[in-house]
Amino acid sequence: MSGHGDPIPMTALKSAPLKGVAEVPGDKSISHRSLILGAMAVGQTHITGLLEGGDVLDTAKAMRAFGAEVTHLGQGEWTVNGVGVGGFAEPEDVIDCGNSGTGVRLIMGTMATSPITATFTGDASLRGRPMGRVTDPIALFGAESYGRKGGRLPMTIVGAADPIPVRYTVPMPSAQVKSAVLLAGLNAPGQTVVIEKEATRDHTERMLTGFGAEIVTEDTDEGRVITLTGQPELKPQTIAVPRDPSSAAFPVCAALIVEGSDVLVPGIGLNPTRAGLFTTLQEMGAELTFENMREEGGEPVADLRARFSDNMQGIEVPPERAPSMIDEYPILSVVASFANGKTVMRGVKELRVKESDRIDAMARGLESCGVTIEEDEDTLIVHGMGANGVPGGATCASHLDHRIAMSFLCAGMAAQNPISVDDSSPISTSFPVFEPLMERLGASFTRVNK
């Protein structure tokens, strides 16, 4: 969805104190999975709180193209009438997943064990991202793939007519790859086993259990071993999608760095495989508290309260924490710029193959705002300048990457001089209400067509 229109440059000015309640949208990971698993169930799944961002809307369209009936009832409220495991129809046209790596990789996995052919594409960002990490394991099931050099989209997948179950060790920490293999395993007879050395977000496993699949997770010396029994009949579910911790990260971090702020971000999903940023911020000395801890729909949830924190200290972020905060390094590097001392982020090379090369995008942008950065292939180090210490006054490239655009706009709210992004349009992929939500809290943006 992003990258198809004209770029929308946007500028964040130094903000008044951010105050109030920030109701961020539904979780992107859970939203994709709700639509895909709903399409694999027999009967009607009812979803509330679905993220209506570009990425998820592209997945909804894709599920229709594979034969599911997907209906929008009202804000965030959707139904999916599934076709059952193995019931996918062959799409009549190319599937365009827009900006979404999660969408394309999960859907490729899901269709890989049905006797159908589908061709996938996406925007310029997605067409540059590696798909070999999914086509390698689905080949073991018997699927074939034909893409551009380097395993890039557009790519055609010919699903396996007689799939065989696999045992696969995921070579990099990736919930998308793990999930693609599990979703492929749904339509393979017998047991599919996925092993991950480092635990990544486990929404697919939790949701498959909810939909009635037999799936067992064991922590062993080899890593986390997940065993799925193939060809279940999935039962439709009623799903209330929790609010996205990765979106909550923006108002939370903006409040920590904008003088005088006090913001409440209610109902945030705090699945331990997603909550690493908040632990890190607390270790840095952020005034961040969890209130009203509870459980909703099988996921831990809390209200986050963030207050301006004028004495945060740089820390060494433990590399083993990376999978639980992988999407949050861009905004963490902004907070680190307003802390005192060095923040060292190691074990983060996966950031180089996200919607953009996020190490490079943050390093170049922060440098142009006056921050000293060190980097190598797997590391980002930010030399903090203290609260109110970042000069700003630059235009940063967002590289078709929503999280890069939002990170620099948050930096601009606290820097001495305005910070612009060359294109804010990708924000709509994950956080379509970012601009009005932040403005209600007190942020001040300007953009060309406003």
Residues annotated as part of the active site: 327
What is the distance of C-alpha 325 from the center of its chain? 10
Residue 176 engages ligand S3P in binding (rule: CB under 6 A): yes
Q: Is 425 in the site for ligand S3P (CB under 6 A)?
A: no
In the complex, what is the shortest distance from the CB of residue 243 to ligand S3P, in angstroms, rounded to a whole number? 15
360/351 Cα distance (integer angstroms): 9
What's the closest the beta carbon of residue 175 comes to ligand S3P, in angstroms? 4
- Give every strand in the sheet of 316-317, ordered side by side: 316-317, 340-346, 379-385, 372-376
Is 176 part of any known ligand binding site? yes
Compare residues 142 and 245 and give the one whose CB is closer to ligand S3P. 245
Is 352 marked as a binding-site residue? no
| SS3 category, 272 | coil
State whether residue 336 is helix, strand or coil: helix
Q: Is 358 annotated as a binding residue?
A: yes
Question: Is 231 labelled a binding residue?
Answer: no
CB of 350 to ligand S3P, least distance (A): 6
Structure tokens at 75: 């804000």
Asked if 262 and 307 count as a contact pair (C-beta separation under 8 A), the reply is yes
Q: Burial level of 307, CB count in 10 A (0-12/13-18/19+)?
A: middle
Q: Which of 59, 179, 247, 340 binds ligand S3P (CB under 6 A)?
A: 179
Stretch in the footprint of ligand S3P (CB under 6 A) among 35-43, 175-183, 252-260, 435-443? 175-183
In the bound complex, what is the minimum distance in angstroms from residue 96's beta carbon to ligand S3P? 19
Is 31 near ligand S3P (CB under 6 A)? no
CB of residue 173 to ligand S3P, shortest distance in Å: 6
d(CA 136, CA 154): 16
DSSP secondary structure, 204-267, as one string: HHHHHHHTT--EEEEEETTEEEEEEESS--BPP-EEEPPBPHHHHHHHHHHHHHSTT-EEEEEE
CA 7 to the chain's CA centroid:
22
Q: What string marks each residue from 118 to 157 as x (binds ligand S3P by CB under 6 A) or -?
A: ----------------------------------------
Left if phi > 0, otherwise alpha if psi is -120 to 50, otherwise beta: which for 151?
left
Among 23, 136, 310, 350, binds ligand S3P (CB under 6 A): 350
Size of the site for ligand S3P (CB under 6 A): 10
Q: Check residue 102 for interaction with ligand S3P (CB under 6 A).
A: yes
Q: How many residues does the chain have?
A: 450
Taking the least distance from each CB to ligand S3P, the nearer of 305 and 403 is 403
Which of 12, 118, 175, 400 binds ligand S3P (CB under 6 A)? It is: 175
Q: Does 407 bind ligand S3P (CB under 6 A)?
A: no
Q: What is the DSSP string of 345-383?
A: EES-GGGGGSSS-HHHHHHHHHHHTT-EEEEETTEEEEE
Other CB atoms within 10 A of residue 450 CB: 8
* Residues 308-347 within binding reach of ligand S3P (CB under 6 A): 326-327
Rounded least distance, CB 201 to ligand S3P, Å: 6
Closest residue by Cα to residue 199 from 222, 233, 163, 223: 223
Residue 435 Cβ vs ligand S3P, minimum distance, rounded to whole Å: 21
Nearer to ligand S3P, 324 or 425 (CB): 324
At CA 109, angle to CA 237 and CA 206, rounded to 5?
35
Q: Residues forming the annotated binding site? A: 28-29, 33, 101, 129, 174, 176, 327, 354, 358, 403
Residue ranges for the known binding site for phosphoenolpyruvate are 28, 101, 129, 176, 358, 403
* Known binding-site positions for 3-phosphoshikimate: 28-29, 33, 174, 176, 327, 354
Give the interface with ligand S3P as residue ranges (CB under 6 A).
Answer: 29, 102, 174-176, 179, 201, 326-327, 350
